[in-house]
Amino acid sequence: MHPITYFLATLAAVYISTSMYYLIRTQCIGTPFKDQLTLYPKLKQTYDRSVEVRRGIYNEGILLSIVILIVVKTLLHVRK
């Protein structure tokens, strides 16, 4: 296995494991900040807009990553 492939696979495994650990550990913590937003409707609107902007950026990152992976895989395949 190529060293870069091994490194990236290890990095992905660490990210997945960390995400699972985070989800398990934070299941019963609750959301005190979000719960307080119901008392301040204007602040909740600001929070909701921020969530939408960040969601859009995250989705753009996913699409960009997929495109880059497809291009790199295609170029590596053509090079052989």
What tokens appear for 7 in the block?
Answer: 């490194």
Q: Distance between CA 52 and CA 35 in Å, rounded?
A: 18
Share of the chain above pLDDT 90, in %: 50
Q: pLDDT tens digit string along 43-80? A: 999 999 999 999 999 999 899 988 988 898 899 888 77
The domain ranges of the chain are 1-30, 31-80
**Residue that wins the pLDDT comparison between 12 and 29:** 12
CB 44 within 8 A of CB 37: yes
DSSP 5-23: HHHHHHHHHHHHHHHHHHH
CB 37 within 8 A of CB 43: yes
